[in-house]
Amino acid sequence: MRLPTAAILTLISVTSFAQQAKTPVAPSAALTAERAVKYRRPSDLHFSADGSHLICAVSEVNGPTIESHLWLLHVGHDELHQFTFSQKSERLARWSPVSGELAFLSNRAGATQVYVMAPDAGEAQVVTASEPGVSDFRWSPDGRQIAFLAPESAHLQADSEPRIADSEQDLARLWIVDLASRKVRQLTSGDWRIDDFEWIRSNQILAMASDHPRSDAWNDALYSISSTDSAITLVAQPNQPFNKLETSPGHSQFSYVSTRNAGPIAHDLFVQSAISGAARDITSRIDRAVLQTRWQNETTVLVRVADGFRNRVFRTNLSGIAVAIDLPYSVRDFDVRRDGTLAFTAVGFNRLPEVFVRRTDGILTQVSHLQQDWDAIRLADAEIFRVKSFDGVAIEAALMKPTLANDNRKLPLVLLAHGGPASNFSADYFWFNAWPQLLVGRGYQVLMVNPRGSIGYGEEFVKANRADLGGGDFKDLMAALDSVIARGDTDPERLGIGGWSYGAEMTQSAVTQTNRFKAAVSGQGVFDETSEFGTEDGAAEDEWYFGTPWENPAIFARNSPLSNIRNAKTPMLIVHGQDDHTNPVGQALELYRALKHYGVETELVIYPGEGHLPHQEKHQIDILERMLAWFDRYLK
């Protein structure tokens, strides 16, 4: 309901690089907010050990939830087909390394459990019985055991009971189930947090874990956990942060993504022998953020990296000699067969995700047709360009333009800022990238910029906005905007700005530094870095950027839109999930109160049950429609 005079509105049940086109194609049917959120998302591709099958998860919003089911490809049959059909969801499918069986997680019978089934016949058999539910699992190298993560059932608490912060009882434990006998053994207990794990041998697990789980700092290390006596031994302490732990097919090596020199994100791929020796950085010559890794054999690793607006795949050996694989699309996800056959999800600004297979001779075959009900809608492509910022640094940006005739009138433009900070805009279609498509269909130009601090331009570029949010990055946005306005097609009196998360923080900061924008939309943003630091889940990344507010209050103030909000004049729509623990909802409440205090036109919409990204279909649609209506109101 709407309270009098711009109070909070709480909605109770509401919820390219594609085809290398040089010029956008006019849509034959209008894209609506309802249509924009209804598309299928293939992910988590995996070849079976013998290479005969490919499995992936395909998800789609459906009312209040996102449903996910498994789809299967018999390699050589050239068409992916749905494999699971439960009334709930299936995800995280993994092949047995020896038998050809498939294991996956599903909540089809209540709490999420591990199920095992054959790819060609039979019913899925549940192999775990965790009352709290399983969050992750891995096959043992001999295929006889499955290790999984789940809290201890004895420590379950009702929602109405008091909760102790950082309670040891809430930690997920590592367990092993023997598939023949179904006997379950608990491997870890006490003050250990397990964040990732892989089998090294049939009696040894390599875990990315912390022995100080109450700490807010990055403090994971790599440990060996014996599956026979639960003994834990320190193996390595990679640079923080690190993630994406994987083992080679023969388990002679393991790899992880870490930083060369102190964060803020895991950036390069490091490889280490499972027996002895130091880790080696094998992607430093590429100098692009590694988003995904897959071992082809004991000496070859494929990596997917962010390279500007495009995600590319490289094949690299253990000496760091990398060769790009020639693909016509940006890649969202991939897997590689032992012979080098590549399966990948192809995306673009004007291409919804589909699965392709690239044979070793380079021939591409599209093996999925998941978006057939989109045939009448043509999405806009983007022009990629570079501009020099205030200090000479080259900044990359993408411009989308409507193609319908406008009688040579200058067009309104909306500048969008991406989340992160250590993220980027990419040639892809997902919920936030539906914003520019809808705006272009409404007659707007849309400008998307990857300012300093973005991934896709090297590790030093990622670090370039440390303790300077709303500083050099804001000037980068303005440099790209001025470059577009100088072309003469844009009406400088009808400019809007908007973003999500860090992009929303940039939006808030921008309107305190300039009155050029006539409308703004802020989604899940940060208004006060100090209060956000004290209330968010996981403050380690913010500590990298700013230190702590108790020691560096001036830095936190300088990087907070709060400090200059008295200068804001731009009408602002604020949208926020009530259950956001990344940027808690108090950030939106503080911003809303400040704008009201200074007489700025504003509206706040809070979405019950939503975290940092909206999951309910009606909420996604509602945000898109409100965003369009807000810009129309002030820019049309």
Q: What share of the chain is helix, strand, coil (3-state, %, to 5)?
A: 20, 35, 45
- How much is the pLDDT for 157? 72
> Once rounded to an integer, what is the mean pLDDT over residues 440-456?
97
Burial class (CB in 10 A: 0-12, 13-18, 19+), 540: middle
Measured CA distances, 436 to 356, 380, 421, 453, 571 (Å): 26, 9, 19, 22, 20
Quick check: 258 pLDDT over 50? Answer: yes
> What pLDDT score does 406 carry?
65
- The reported pLDDT for the residue numbered 326 is 95
* CA pair distance 369, 356, nearest whole angstrom: 10
pLDDT above 80: residue 137:
yes
DSSP 406-430: -TTPPEEEEEEE-S-SS----S--S
C-alpha neighbours within 13 Å on the C-beta side of residue 12: 2
Q: How far is CA 370 from CA 34, 63, 328, 587, in A?
A: 17, 19, 19, 38
Residue in the structure block whose two tokens are 């409440």: 589
Distance between CA atoms of residues 442 and 239, nearest Å: 47
Spell out the alpha helix ranges (H) of 367-497. Answer: 434-441, 459-462, 472-485
The chain-wide mean pLDDT, for the chain, equals 93
Predicted confidence at residue 517, as pLDDT, reads: 98
Peptide bond connecting 241 to the previous residue in cis, omega within 30 degrees of 0: yes
Flag the least confident range among 7-21, 163-177, 453-467.
7-21
Check residue 153 and give its pLDDT: 84
pLDDT beyond 90 at 51? yes
Please give the average per-residue pLDDT across 544-554, as a whole number.
98
- pLDDT of 338-355, one tens digit each? 999 999 999 999 999 999
Helix 472-485 / helix 502-513 crossing angle, nearest 10 deg: 70
Q: Would you say residue 14 has pLDDT above 60? A: no
Phi and psi angles of residue 244, each rounded to the nearest 5 degrees, phi first: 55, 55
SS3 per-residue string spanning 240-254: CCCEEEEECCCCCEE
In contact, 529 and 554? CB cutoff 8 Å: no
> Which range among 20-29, 56-65, 369-378 shows the weakest confidence by mean pLDDT?
20-29
Dihedral, CA of residue 540, residue 543, residue 545 and residue 548, to nearest 10: 170
Does position 16 have pLDDT exceeding 80, yes or no?
A: no
CATH numbers and ranges of domains, the chain: 9-16+382-635 (3.40.50.1820)
For residue 137 the two structure tokens come to 């699992």
**Among 10-24, 119-133, 408-422, the range of highest mean pLDDT:** 408-422
Please answer whether residues 626 and 575 qualify as being in contact, where contact means their C-beta atoms are separated by less than 8 angstroms: yes
Residue-wise pLDDT tens digits, 574-597: 999 999 999 999 999 999 999 999
Distance CA 109, CA 614 (A): 25
Range among 24-38, 160-174, 385-399 rated most confident: 385-399
Rounded Cα distance, 57 and 55, in Å: 7
- The dihedral through the CA atoms of 315, 318, 320, 321 has a sign that is negative
Gap between the Cα atoms of 240 and 260, Å rounded: 9
Strand positions, DSSP E, 21-101: 41-47, 53-62, 65-74, 81-82, 90-95
Contact by Cβ (8 Å): 560, 536: no
Q: pLDDT: is 6 or 329 the higher one?
A: 329
What token pair was written down for 328?
A: 């016509």
Residue 23 has pLDDT above 50, yes or no: no
> Looking at the predicted structure, is the pLDDT value of residue 11 above 60?
no
* Per-residue pLDDT band at 155 (split at 50, 70, 90): low
309 φ, ψ to 5°?
-85, 5
Mean pLDDT confidence for 278-282: 96
Write out the E strands in 75-163: 81-82, 90-95, 102-106, 113-117, 125-126, 136-139, 145-150
pLDDT tens digit sequence for 281-310? 999 999 999 999 999 999 999 999 999 999
CA of residue 55 relative to chain centroid, distance:
21
Closest CA to 309 of 386, 374, 233, 373: 386
Alpha carbon distance 368, 356 (integer Å): 7
Q: What is the largest CA-CA distance in the chain?
A: 77
Confidence of residue 78 (pLDDT cuts 50, 70, 90): confident
Share of the chain above pLDDT 90, in %: 88
Q: Are 88 and 107 in contact (CB under 8 A)?
A: yes
Alpha-carbon distance of 566 to 427, in angstroms, equals 36
Neighbouring CB atoms inside 10 A of 172's CB total 21
Supply the pLDDT for residue 122. Answer: 79
Residue type at position 3: L
Segment 140-169 shows an average pLDDT of 88
458: nearest Cα among 415, 414, 394, 404: 394
Which residues contact residue 22 at a Cβ distance below 8 angstroms, ignoring those fewer than 6 apart? none
Return the structure tokens found at 587. 């950030």
